Chains A and B, each alone.
Chain A
Amino acid sequence: MIGNDLVDLQQAEKDSNWNRKGFMEKVFTGSEQFLINSASQPAQMVWLLWSMKEAAYKIHTRDTKLRSFAPTAIQCNNLVLHENTASGEILYEAERYYTQTEINSNYIHTLAAQNLEQLQQIKVFIDHYNPSNTDYRNKNPDCVSHHGRYLALVFI
């Protein structure tokens, strides 16, 4: 099973104030807050970690059929950040997920899988999102994420 999550950075900037009092503590663990506070671009780090959590959470809920809103329990580990990509791991309820992220000035898009081999096989399709067009469903993607201006489909 695979998961993905796209954050439109312009939309996130408009909709969310991650600087508001209490937000960080509700969403990020101590070590994640450290990564954010020491990042050269804190906002980018916020949405990078957020998309890693979301992408892994999607696999987890499809697996367990259980929904829960516990962002601090979905923990980012072993993050390696390059200029336009990042890789890392998520630990959530004793399950490990591997993540790979694309970063650019418009969006952050994370892929998650239960093993590294599967992660490398994922095919990605990103397009402009049109709410009135649901044709993408006919492509039978394994996971879908849309946010703001973008639609991201992933296939295995």
Chain B
Amino acid sequence: MDSATSTHASFLKNITMDKPELTSRLKAIITTYAQETDALAHLTEETDFIKDLKINSANLVDIVLDVEEEFGIEIDNDSMSRMLTVGAAIEIIEAKLAANDRE
């Protein structure tokens, strides 16, 4: 595969996972564990998994594992330590997907 084709391929990969799609797939995972339906209905990047959605910390581990399965990525402990809000989760998923694309 020449470099032009490879660039094109990874570009296609990126547009198949745009931010709204990523967010809605993440939201589906979060919905399983969230206790606060109001906060879930008004999800923003600032929404805090524990404070706003009242997700218990054991289920936060489940969210990390579900995200790994759903997006085919591996979330290292350092990234997990920052995964406290929806925005942080999106940022981490995007970074890991981009890293997968470069492989």
Report whether B57 and A54 are in contact in the complex, using a CB–CB cutoff of 8 Å: yes
Q: Which of the candidate stretches B6-14, B22-30, B80-88 sits at the interface with the other chain?
A: B80-88
How many residues on A have C-beta within 8 angstroms of the other chain's C-beta atoms? 21
Distance of A121 Cα from B60 Cα, bound (Å):
33
CB A22 to nearest CB in B, in angstroms, measures: 5
Across the interface, B61 reaches (CB within 8 A) one of A26, A54, A73, A147, namely A26
A70 to B64, CA, bound (A): 12
Taking the closest CB of chain A, its distance from the CB of B89, in whole angstroms, is 11
* Stretch touching chain B among A12-20, A33-41, A79-87, A101-109: A12-20
State whether B57 touches A68 (Cβ < 8 A).
no
Q: Which residues of B contact A (CB under 8 A)?
A: 56-62, 64-65, 68, 77, 80-84
Known: A26-B65, A68-B84. 13 other contacts (CB 8 A): A15-B58, A16-B59, A16-B62, A20-B62, A22-B65, A50-B58, A67-B84, A68-B82, A69-B60, A69-B83, A70-B81, A71-B57, A73-B81
